[in-house]
Amino acid sequence: MTASLEQLRRCHFAVDLGAARTRVYVKGAGLIVDQPSVAAVNTRTGALIAVGEFAEKMTGRTPHYIRVVRPVSGGTVVDIEMAQRMLRQLLGDKVRRTLRRKPRLRAAACTPHDSDPLAQRATMETLVGLGARRVELVDTLIAAGVGCGLPVERPEATMIMVCGAAATQVAVLSLGSIVTAERIPVGGEAIDHAIVQHLRHHHELMLPSQSVRPLQLALSGNGLTSQGPTSTEIHGRDVATGLARSVQVDTAAVRDAIQTPLTAVLDGIGKVLRVCPPDLVADLVDRGIMMVGGSALLPGLDQMLRQATGMPVHIAERPDVCAVLGLGAMLEGRIEPLVLDPTAG
């Protein structure tokens, strides 16, 4: 699945199709698209009304004939045609005209670790529909490791945790390849869902998942530890009456509610460490875990991992865009040839 550096240097643009956001890097121009993976469609005419941030704001607020869809789920394209239309709209006419002038247009794309052949084919067909003559696939773990500056090409272990919206991927990297990895079907969406369910069951308050951010911010300070703010006010709809209502939510109870999905992440980290060679685990004692992905910014998640594993935990400088920036570095030829070399080591 992982392409060679020589193949990637021939690519003209790179795409990271995530469940939450879509990012596009164009060679020589940098990161030009960073928008939610959302599209709004008129079901009467089939016309595409909006994409990206504007379409996301329409979620739950549209008349019956406008449908807000997410063509990417869990890092896998589930609606190829809609994903192509969304990408065309996000790129814009000017960029698409520039790309079409390239002879034998090539593209690169991130795919989740251990994604099945059907998921890989869906990603490739999406980019072929944009005019790409060839599509190179790169494991998200490798791309994110390069993007956050980890020395993945060296013979020392580095551990990376990609915290996505739909899944969390954990891996130990060495000599430009994945030594051992685990994909946990728990991400930022699962944490949001746990918060929504807690408010529904304990406060009889209905809350759309896009409105849980204020409550997550209330967990800041020491985050998921017990020293954060004691309570915060949340607005929603009463389950029984349907009227708007505000409640004071105990943040300690919310922390307990999200422990279940976070425990699954800890179990995945433990599984990776148990099957990793002892020499590489010894390297990780000092190097620790590097967190990337949009959900890595969940307040206090790093502190919880630090306490549970006893290892240093770091958050990348720009965790949400590490994967696409890593692809961009490979396209621009800024990576040593040893990286991604299948014969390395």
Any alpha helices (H) in the chain, and if so which ranges? 5-9, 52-57, 80-100, 117-128, 140-147, 188-203, 213-217, 251-257, 259-275, 278-287, 301-309, 322-331
**Positive or negative CA dihedral for 15, 17, 21, 22?**
positive
SS (H, E, C) 247-291: EEEEHHHHHHHCHHHHHHHHHHHHHHHHHCCHHHHHHHHHHCEEE
Tell whether 295 is in a known binding site. Answer: yes
Question: Which DSSP symbol is given to 239?
Answer: T
Tell whether 296 is in a known binding site. Answer: yes
Q: Determine how many CB atoms are found less than 10 A away from the CB of residue 12.
A: 19
What is the residue type of 317? E
> Can you state the angle between helices 259-275 and 301-309, rounded to 10 degrees?
50
**Known binding-site positions:** 294-297
**Known binding-site positions for ATP:** 294-297
